[in-house]
């Protein structure tokens, strides 16, 4: 059985946003994730989460994030329950909170929540028992903290000097929780420059993404960038009438080889998935040598293991009355 660190230098109970995460805590989570990633290659086995029950509570579609959390919890020896809440008790009119209370009464420890409702993860966190935790797996268009952390790990593996990086996020920024969490995490790690590139109708409000440079033209935003992060167009968050035409979007904002040549020659290309090939990105770029898209998926598993370990350790300390702040970290 592989060993896990026991120090509780960075207690973390709920993880709902990266906005106020201390840099030391973020770095500790990323460092542990990198170690777990390397150990995973040799099929290391853990029992860190033995006795813990993790509930995937997804009320928006999710394949990769749900699978990633499930495998992360199982590889640490935890129990996992997957619930598609949009298809069960919610249809009978039960509130999300009542579903949580029901599962809590069955001794669930960690709720992984994906929701289209702004504020729902915080509302659940405010109501659960003191030895129960909530981790956001994507909240409407505002936050996706585990994605933000896996994106930072993916950048750090190839471009560790954040202070000298130009990161360019391209596409549907206005509806993207991935972009929001990336911006919070990049600020936390002291990124040199953040650029956002989008058509005017997909630009976020003027007061969002403080400090980012805004561009409407790909050629301007991509110039000499070290990291190019593409995004899925979030059709589910748009009125039918305002959905961009995929061909027009591709012509102006799709990342193809020619455009990628405007970035730094060693630039890396990212996408959170699921990708719409031929719209946001071409297959040549997505599967090409500069792409880290599949590595992002592997990193996602390691980051979620790192977070689950830390959250479970915090809950155990709360249970045993150790001297830590029960609302510690991350929220």
Decide: is 250 part of the binding site for ligand NCD (CB under 6 A).
Answer: no
By CB under 6 A, name the one of 17, 65, 296, 314 that touches ligand NCD. 65
Output 62 or 104, the one with its CB closest to ligand NCD: 62
DSSP annotation of 164 reads G
Helix (H, G, I), strand (E, B) or coil at 255: strand
According to CB under 6 A, which residues from 96 to 115 bind ligand NCD? none
- In the complex, the smallest distance separating the C-beta of residue 272 from ligand NCD, rounded to whole angstroms, is 4
Q: How far is the CB of 75 from ligand NCD (least distance, A)?
A: 19
143/314 with CB nearer ligand NCD: 143
For position 237 contacting ligand NCD by CB under 6 A, the verdict is: no
Q: Which is nearer to ligand NCD, 32 or 232 (CB)?
A: 232
| 82 in Cβ contact with 69 (< 8 Å) | no
Q: Does 272 bind ligand NCD (CB under 6 A)?
A: yes
**Applying CB under 6 A, does 66 fall inside the site for ligand NCD?**
no
| Residue pair 132/110 in contact by the 8 Å Cβ criterion | yes
Residues contacting 235, CB < 8 A, separation 6+: 243
DSSP, collapsed to helix, strand or coil, labels residue 156 as helix
Give least dist CB 167 to ligand NCD, A. Answer: 17
111, 122, 254 from 133: Cα distances, Å: 6, 11, 39
| Residue with smaller CB distance to ligand NCD, 232 or 264 | 232
Does 235 interact with ligand NCD (rule: CB under 6 A)?
no
Residue 232 found at the interface with ligand NCD (CB under 6 A) = yes
To ligand NCD, the closest distance from the beta carbon of 131 in angstroms equals 28
Sign of CA dihedral 94, 98, 104, 110: positive
* Both structure tokens of 267: 């630039």
Strands (E), the chain: 53-58, 79-84, 110-115, 133-139, 166-170, 193-197, 213-215, 227-230, 268-270
For ligand NCD, the binding residues in 166-225 under the rule CB under 6 A are 177-178
* The only residue of 64, 90, 213, 316 in contact with ligand NCD, by rule CB under 6 A: 64
On whether the CB atoms of residues 316 and 1 are closer than 8 A, the answer is no
Report which DSSP code applies to 62: -
Beta-bridge partner residues of 227: 167, 268
- Tell me: does residue 144 bind ligand NCD (CB under 6 A): yes
Instruction: Tell me: does residue 282 bind ligand NCD (CB under 6 A).
Output: no
Tell me the site size for ligand NCD, rule CB under 6 A: 10
Give the helix/strand (H/E) hosting 240.
Answer: none
CB of 290 to ligand NCD, least distance (A): 20
Assess 304 for contact with ligand NCD (CB under 6 A). no
Is omega for the bond preceding 274 within 30 degrees of 0, making it cis?
yes
8 A C-beta contact, residue 5 and residue 168 = no
78 or 272, CB closer to ligand NCD?
272
The residues that touch ligand NCD, with contacts defined as CB under 6 A, are 64-65, 138, 144, 147, 177-178, 232, 272-273
């Amino acid at each position: 059985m592989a060993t896990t660190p026991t120090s509780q230098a960075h207690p973390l109970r709920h993880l709902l946003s990266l906005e106020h995460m201390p840099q030391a805590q973020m770095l500790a989570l990323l460092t542990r994730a990198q170690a777990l990633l390397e150990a995973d290659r040799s099929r290391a086995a853990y029992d860190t989460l033995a006795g813990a029950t993790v509930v995937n509570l997804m009320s928006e579609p999710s394949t990769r994030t749900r699978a990633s959390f499930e495998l992360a919890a199982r590889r640490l020896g935890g129990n996992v329950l997957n619930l598609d809440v949009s298809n069960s008790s919610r249809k009978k009119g039960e509130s999300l909170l009542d579903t949580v209370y029901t599962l809590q009464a069955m001794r669930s420890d960690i709720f992984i929540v994906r929701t289209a409702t702004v504020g729902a993860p915080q509302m659940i966190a405010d109501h659960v028992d003191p030895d129960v935790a909530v981790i956001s797996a994507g909240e409407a268009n505002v936050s996706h903290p585990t994605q933000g952390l896996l994106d930072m790990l993916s950048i750090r593996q190839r471009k560790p000097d954040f202070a000298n990086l130009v990161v360019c996020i391209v596409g549907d920024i206005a509806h993207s929780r991935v972009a929001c969490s990336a911006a919070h995490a990049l600020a936390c790690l002291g990124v040199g420059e953040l650029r956002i590139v989008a058509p005017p109708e997909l630009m976020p409000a003027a007061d969002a993404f403080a400090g980012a440079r805004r561009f409407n033209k790909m050629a301007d935003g991509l110039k000499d960038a070290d990291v190019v992060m593409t995004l899925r167009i979030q059709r589910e968050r748009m009125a039918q009438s305002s959905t961009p035409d995929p061909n027009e979007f591709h012509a102006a904002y799709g990342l193809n080889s020619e455009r990628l040549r405007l970035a730094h020659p060693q630039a890396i290309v990212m996408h959170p998935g699921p990708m719409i090939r031929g719209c946001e990105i071409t297959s040549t770029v997505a599967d090409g040598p500069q792409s880290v898209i599949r590595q992002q998926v592997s990193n996602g598993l390691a980051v979620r293991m790192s977070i689950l370990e830390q959250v479970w350790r915090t809950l155990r300390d709360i249970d045993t009355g150790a001297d830590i702040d029960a609302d510690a970290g991350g929220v």
